[in-house]
Amino acid sequence: MSQVGFARFSAREVAKRIGYSIGTIYNVFGSYDMLILAINAQTLTQWQAHVQARLADARTDRLRVLVEAYFEFAVLHHHAWTALYDHRLPDDVAAPEYYQDHIRSLTGIARDEIAAALPPERRAEADGLTRSLLATVHGHCFFTLNGTFKLLGETRPLDTVYARVREAIGTSFTSN
Amino acid sequence: MSQVGFARFSAREVAKRIGYSIGTIYNVFGSYDMLILAINAQTLTQWQAHVQARLADARTDRLRVLVEAYFEFAVLHHHAWTALYDHRLPDDVAAPEYYQDHIRSLTGIARDEIAAALPPERRAEADGLTRSLLATVHGHCFFTLNGTFKLLGETRPLDTVYARVREAIGTSFTSN
DNA sequence: CGCTATTTTTAACGGTGTTCAATAGATCTG
DNA sequence: CAGATCTATTGAACACCGTTAAAAATAGCG
């Protein structure tokens, strides 16, 4: 996945590379969707580890480090990261519980940092603000990787999105 | 595309439905990528028309209407909208000029509204702020449609993202 | 009409996800 | 050990896909 990207990824190629036949892949994972979910879950694990490692030796401005680590991983593993969002289950199928847990675990890190960065009287906003800032950072990262920012002339997406985060943490008008 | 979505879309099916053979599709569009680009360009045109129509009868708070129209189109045509971002050209291929123009035209609408909403002494920030807020709104819209917000418990993404936009327009710490 | 130029078709190629009967291997039983 | 049961693995078959190029059909023109 990290080598060819989502569009050129194939279950048959996986089977070939690990020395098994295509049938075995299907016995183990059940379907193409579930194979990709397993791979994406691994990506989420690596992403979380990356963010936690960066936060571990962050001495000041942990929020900045958090945002940087988010971007860094996506740029470093852009095929794997993009696959997280390129893959879509059928509209009537929900992601398995284990996969949802991976997402909750990763977003939980952001929540803890944001809660810690908020003044005590605004801690109640932490959950809503976290969801919003995750989306904000995601949008900037996505536009960085898919070329939209290049097209529009944005050269410092990291600084830009950090300004958005600081605004929201500093003084928020949200009602969440 | 709007019926089956990006993943299940096929050029052969298009040929069948319009009563031509697959070869004709390739004579006209050149490749699968270019066919999708043509379809996505149409989607961008419809999106722009939708936003302009909403802005045309906006009497107050045009920024709110702008954000609402963005969301509304994505939700109303979520398969077509998602295809805009599911499709990725090979890393070494740039989008054709006509397609880039569509994007610049759509984002230009946002730029004009944002510039008008800014106090005169901050007009210079309009371009950078527009890029950032487009990414911000995109992120919220994307998380709404791909289920991330549902998973995280976000129930009012439109209000939430509008709070982010108001923050940035109201008092911005950005250096763009 | 015949001749050219354009449009369209068709068949083939190599690839994909998916299924499933058949095989191979491992494990347990008497 | 021999045999039976259970599990893991295979690979052929199916229906689809994007892509190509030669052949066929159509249109335009003198």
A48-72 residue pLDDT tens: 999 999 999 998 899 999 999 999 9
Between CA B3 and CA A37 the distance in angstroms is 24
Q: Report, in angstroms and rounded to the nearest whole number, the Rg of chain B calculated over CA atoms.
A: 18
A81-120 residue pLDDT tens: 999 999 999 988 999 999 999 999 999 999 999 999 999 9
* Residue A24 confidence (pLDDT): 97
The residue whose two tokens read 């800014």 is B118
Which amino acid, A41?
Answer: A
A17-51 residue pLDDT tens: 999 999 999 999 999 999 999 999 999 999 999 99
CA of B8 to C1' of D15 (A): 14
Q: Indicate left, alpha or beta for A76 from its phi (over 0: left) and psi (-120 to 50: alpha).
A: alpha
Q: Which two tokens stand for residue A83?
A: 């696959």
Between CA B7 and CA A89 the distance in angstroms is 10
Query: C-alpha distances in angstroms, A155 versus A25, A176, B31, B64?
Result: 42, 32, 32, 27
| Cα–chain center distance at B102 | 10
Q: Which two tokens stand for residue A122?
A: 């605004």
Nearest Cα residue to B24 out of B37, B43, B11? B11
DSSP for A47-98? HHHHHHHHHHT--S-HHHHHHHHHHHHHHHTHHHHHHHHH----TT-PPPHH
B contacts of A171 (beta carbons < 8 Å) = 167, 171
Contact A131 B152 (CB under 8 A): yes
Nucleotide nearest to B22 (CA to C1'): C9
pLDDT at B171 over 70: no
Q: Count CB neighbours of A53 within 10 A.
A: 11
Buried (b) or exposed (e) across B142-153, using 16+ Cβ within 10 A?
Answer: bbbbbbbbebbe
- Check: CB of residue A127 under 8 Å from CB of residue A25: no
Between CA A54 and CA A100 the distance in angstroms is 23
pLDDT at A172 over 90: no
More confident residue, A162 or B60: A162
Segment B33-46 shows an average pLDDT of: 98
Q: How far apart are the CA of A77 and the nearest CA of chain B, in angstroms?
A: 14
pTM: 0.93
- Check: CB of residue A160 under 8 Å from CB of residue B128: yes
Which bases of chain D come closer than 7 Å to a protein CB?
Answer: 8-13, 16-22
pLDDT at B173 over 60: no
* Residue A176 confidence (pLDDT): 38
